[in-house]
Amino acid sequence: LELESALHKALERGELVLHYQPKIDVSTGTMTGAEALMRWQRGDQLISPADFIPLAEETGLIVPMSYWALHEAARQAHQWERSLGMPLPVAVNLPSRMFLRTDLIDSLQAQLAELQAPASCLQLEITETGLMKDLQNVMPSLKRLNQLGLEISIDDFGTGYSSLAYLTTLPIGELKIDRSFIRDLGARPESVAVVTAIIALARSLGLRVIAEGVETMLQMEVLNRLGCSVMQGFLFSRPLPAADLESWLRQTV
CB-based contacts of 14: which residues, under 8 Å, 6+ apart? Answer: none
- Listed ranges 79-87, 115-123, 148-156, 194-202: which one lies at the site for Mn ion (CB under 5 A): 148-156
Binding mask 83-112 for ligand G (x = CB under 6 A): ----------x-x-----------------
When the beta carbons of 151 and 156 are compared against Na ion, the nearer one is 156
Cβ neighbour number for residue 44 with a 10 Å cutoff = 5
Helix, strand, or coil here: 160?
coil
Binding mask 65-84 for ligand G (x = CB under 6 A): ----x---------------
Query: Can you spell out the DSSP letters for 174-192?
Result: EEEE-HHHHHTTTT-HHHH
In the complex, minimum distance from the CB of residue 168 to ligand G, in angstroms, rounded to a whole number: 24
In the complex, minimum distance from the CB of residue 108 to Mn ion, in angstroms, rounded to a whole number: 18
Q: Applying CB under 6 A, what is the total number of residues that bind ligand G?
A: 19
Are 9 and 57 spatial neighbours (Cβ–Cβ below 8 Å)? Answer: no
Query: Can you spell out the DSSP letters for 88-123?
Result: --EEEE--HHHHT-TTHHHHHHHHHHHHT--GGGEE
Binding mask 142-181 for Na ion (x = CB under 5 A): -------------xx-------------------------
Distances from the Cα of 96 to the Cαs of 34, 113, 118, 179, 246, in angstroms?
21, 24, 23, 20, 31
Binding mask 84-123 for Mn ion (x = CB under 5 A): ---------x------------------------------
When the beta carbons of 91 and 247 are compared against Mn ion, the nearer one is 91
Q: Contact with ligand G (CB under 6 A): which of 184, 215, 244, 246? A: 215
Cβ neighbour number for residue 134 with a 10 Å cutoff = 14
